[in-house]
Chain A
């Protein structure tokens, strides 16, 4: 019973917090996801924006150069195979428009397992997306006034 009451309190707090978030913060969050580093640059956090942007962009392109490949769920994937593709795809999508541009041009989706640095490339690409999620949340928090 006490657990349920605590859960309700937390839910109410989240609801209040979401309602008090300025709409600009949501747009900043979307911009930060779409173009790594842009969320901070739009808020005139030049140093942070450039450092975050160059890290994520650099990681993404180094990943591609090392022969890493991007994940996507295709029609041929069935059952457990979908999960194996979908989870890393979520990480890759964190790179925002970089992933979408690669998807539209069909770049980076071919496996190059014969290359020695193939696994390095995969790791760089996955972590680039995950780090951009972190950067996006940071930009959102700054825009919402929860962080300086």
Chain B
């Protein structure tokens, strides 16, 4: 759970910067930031799920 928290914090801070430096209206930038945040989380879940099948332990 703690790992998820740090990953989500990383995603939130990074997507905030991506949203701010994006072009377009304020609303467009907000939507872009939220989209990037969602993509970070989605990719992390998908990769985590795939990696859980690999015999690393």
Contact = CB atoms under 8 A, between A and B. Distances in A.
Interface residues of B, number: 12
A62 interface: yes
B6 A48 contact: no
Interface residues of A, number: 20
Interface string A114-148: 00010010011001000100110110000000010
B13 A52 contact: no
Contacts of A56: 17
Given A55-B17, A66-B6, 5 more contacts: A55-B13, A55-B16, A59-B10, A117-B6, A127-B10
10 contacts: A52-B16, A55-B13, A55-B14, A56-B17, A59-B14, A66-B6, A120-B10, A127-B14, A131-B13, A131-B14
Closest 4 pairs (CB-CB, A-B): A138-B21, A55-B13, A131-B17, A55-B16
